Amino acid sequence: MIALATVLAAVLMGLGNTVGYHRLLTHRSFKARPPLRWVLTLLGALHGGSPVLWVGLHRLHHARSDTDSDPHSPIRGFWWAHCGWLIGTERALPALLFALSGFGQQLTILLHDVRRLLGRNPPTWRELCPDLMGEPLMRFLDAPGVMPVLFVVQLGAAWGLAGWTGIGALWLVHLWLTNTSWAVNSVAHTARFGRRTFETREDSVDVPWLAVLTHGEGYHNGHHRYPRSARHALHGGADLSWAVIRLLSATGLAQDVWLPKKFR
Ligand SMILES: [Zn+2]
Ligand SMILES: [Zn+2]
């Protein structure tokens, strides 16, 4: 039972990140009205932090991919791209330890919010997301302290459901989701790990095995070629997020699903 709940949580929270934060909020690959838009956003927030900050950083990544001003490019080293950028290190050992910490990202979110409350982190990322800042839910989720409280609620729920086993299961979910999504920045931007399907300006590659683990996000070269595409596996392959978007569209819950002309 607990194993099933753990897998279900990992899949749903993962879809919150890929279908919600990435394809819906960042790239506007399709439209979804509330309450579906809220549900996808909240599922993403359980793991990825503020949607406005996530979207802002990701839009910056697309605008400056694999340059000095890309927040997480492997041009500063594999471990910097994976998670070192979150704690300011290019060194493998501290980054590896952070990657294995599971809840480490939640700690960085807390520290980030404390710095904001002290006036040291002006919310410049909001300038990259004027579309989201018009929504009360997005502004609320981006307020300092909200994400740490959401994480405490998760801890409380996990404890209430299964005590230390529940906390352990939640830790596994966060360990899995952080490392698989970080691998899109590290593995899928490193030539030797994948293939170049399209000619693009950065070093992105398609990594089919990573797409299995990340609901389709491993087809990252195709994504950089057509960032707005709701489908990332443009030539076929594992893309659970695309399957979900197609299902939502077929049931009328998603509208205006965008695909590049030659792949429609
Ligand atoms: Zn990328
Ligand atoms: Zn993207």
Q: How far is the CA of 240 from the centre of ligand 1 (A)?
A: 19
Compute, in angstroms, the gap from residue 203 CA to the centroid of ligand 1: 8
Whether the model clears a pTM of 0.75, i.e. scores above it, the answer is yes
Ligand 2: centre distance to CA 57 (Å): 10
**Dist. CA 99 → ligand 1 center (Å):** 19
* DSSP per position, the chain: -HHHHHHHHHHHHHHIIIIIIIIIIIT--SEE-TTHHHHHHHHHHHHH--HHHHHHHHHHHHHTTTSTT-TT-GGG-HHIIIIIHHHT---HHHHHHHHTTSSHHHHHHHHHHHHHHTT-S--GGGGG-HHHHTSHHHHHHTSTTHHHHHHHHHHHHHHHHHHHHHHHHHHHHHHHHHHHHHHHHHGGGSGGGSB--S--SS---B-HHHHHHTTTTTBHHHHHHSTT-S-S-TTSS--HHHHHHHHHHHTTSEE-----GGG-
How many angstroms does the Cα of residue 75 sit away from the middle of ligand 1?
A: 12
212 alpha carbon – ligand 1 mean position (Å)? 17
Sign of CA dihedral 41, 45, 46, 48: positive
Residue 84 and residue 29: Cα distance in Å, rounded?
29
Residue 76 in tokens: 């500063």
Q: Which domain holds residue 252?
A: 2-263
Query: Whats the size of the chain, residue-wise?
Result: 264
Domain count for the chain: 1
How high is the pLDDT of residue 42?
98
How are beta strands 254-255 and 31-32 bridged, if at all? antiparallel
**What local confidence, expressed as pLDDT, does residue 242 receive?**
98
pLDDT of residue 126: 96
Task: Give the ligand at the shortest distance from the Cα of 228.
Answer: 2
CA of 196 to the centre of ligand 1 (A): 13
Tens-level pLDDT at each residue, the chain (264 residues): 899 999 999 999 999 999 999 999 999 999 999 999 999 999 999 999 999 999 999 999 999 999 999 999 999 999 999 999 999 999 999 999 999 999 999 999 999 999 999 999 999 999 999 999 999 999 999 999 999 999 999 999 999 999 999 999 999 999 999 999 999 999 999 999 999 999 999 999 999 999 999 999 999 999 999 999 999 999 999 999 999 999 999 999 999 999 999 999
Please give the distance, rounded to the nearest whole angstrom, from the Cα atom of residue 2 to the centre of ligand 1: 34
Work out the number of other CB atoms within 10 angstroms of the CB of residue 209. 12
Give the closest ligand to the alpha carbon of residue 54: 2
